[in-house]
Amino acid sequence: MLLFLLVLAVAGISWFLTFTLRRYALTNSLIDIPNARSSHSIPTPRGGGVAIVMVFLGVLVVMPLLFGLPWAWMIALGGSGLLIAMVGFLDDHGHIAARWRLIAHFSAALWALFWLEGSLVLQLAGLSIDIVWVVYALAAFFLVWLLNLYNFMDGIDGLASIQAITTCLGGALIYWLLGHTEQITMLLVLAAAVAGFLYWNFPPARIFMGDAGSGFLGLVLGLFTVTATMVEPQLLWSWLILLGVFILDATWTLFRRLARGDKIYEAHRSHAYQYASRHYGAHLPVTLAVLAINIVWLLPWACAVALGYVDGLLGLVIAYVPLAVLAVRFKAGALEVAA
């Protein structure tokens, strides 16, 4: 009952804070003005993701007292998440050079990994890699990549919110199936915080998430992936499957742009979801399609891997094949042709 009431309160507070931030953005002209690289056509307030950050970090402080969660885990998540949110907030209000953002991203990743309690082992094709510095170096790069790709993928209404909610609820279901109920609480809290924001961000969006929110979500979901791997190594593959739409689209697009010699730090509209939204002339069909893919296709494969019915790497490949087909279909990473 306590968890149920907490989830309802978190969603409600997030809803109200997003409403307040929208009024603040309108009053202070914090408006995203469409340009040639935008996927939007209407000026829209930005920075609403701060509501997610404020609510989640506020609840995080009392989680060890209410549910007995480890303080070290709270310090890891709270410290790193706050740093990423602050950097994103400053970037939303001005501009921070890419090198300084990257330094902050790695600092946050290293801070979190330092405080996390547990053994991190990578299982690949039946082999276990437990060389500490190798595994933790890979984890740091993974966290930095995920928080950046989440920023890249936050380009149309509701997409980043839907991905976060489905990943959290899918992860909660997997933990419930495996009997690790103590891991579920934080997933439900984050899902509730994002749900309150989604009311205002659902197509057509009345406020955008902004770098503070998208980077924060990418980092937190990355840390959920790392801690899941500490609980049971095969869960790494389950979480990578749950995040499949974002990981494949962003990674595929990045490699194509790198191969072409593009400056990867420049804004663009060449992700598959962006091409798809232009093809259908709206954001809603794409956002709903991602919701359906996550629930109907990716979640069952993630559960199958978690329960040991399918090898992790094999399950990942099978789950990603249709996503790769869609990436090709919607020209992920292709050179944009001027209209």
**Predicted local confidence at residue 338, as pLDDT:** 53
Q: Looking at the domain assignment, is residue 335 inside a domain?
A: no
Query: For the segment 304-321, what is each residue's pLDDT rounded down to a tens digit?
Result: 999 999 999 999 999 999
* Helical segments of 116-243, H only: 132-153, 159-178, 184-201, 210-231, 235-242
Q: What domain range is 11 assigned to?
A: 2-329
Residue 42: count of CB within 10 angstroms of its CB: 11
Q: Which string of b and e fits 172-198 if b means at least 16 CB within 10 Å?
A: bbbbeebeeeebbbbbbbbbbbbbbbb
Asked whether residue 334 is domain-assigned, the answer is no
Residue 300 belongs to some domain of the structure: yes
299-306 and 235-242 helices, crossing angle to 10°? 180
Number of domains in the chain: 1
Whether residue 32 is annotated as binding a ligand: the answer is: no
**Residue 18 falls inside a structural domain:** yes
- Lowest-pLDDT range, 25-39, 131-145, 184-198, 255-269? 25-39
229 within domain boundaries: yes
Q: Please check whether residue 182 lies inside any domain of the structure.
A: yes
How many residues appear in the chain? 339
The answer to whether the annotation marks 151 as part of a ligand binding site is yes
Is 41 part of any domain? yes
Q: What pLDDT digit, counting tens, does each position of 178-225 carry? A: 999 988 999 999 999 999 999 999 999 999 999 999 999 999 999 999
Q: Is the pLDDT of residue 43 over 90?
A: no
Angle between helix 210-231 and 159-178 (nearest 10): 20
Q: Given a cut of 90, is residue 120 above it in pLDDT?
A: no
pTM above 0.85, yes or no: yes
Give me the pLDDT at residue 124, please.
73
Instruction: Indicate whether 337 belongs to any domain.
Output: no
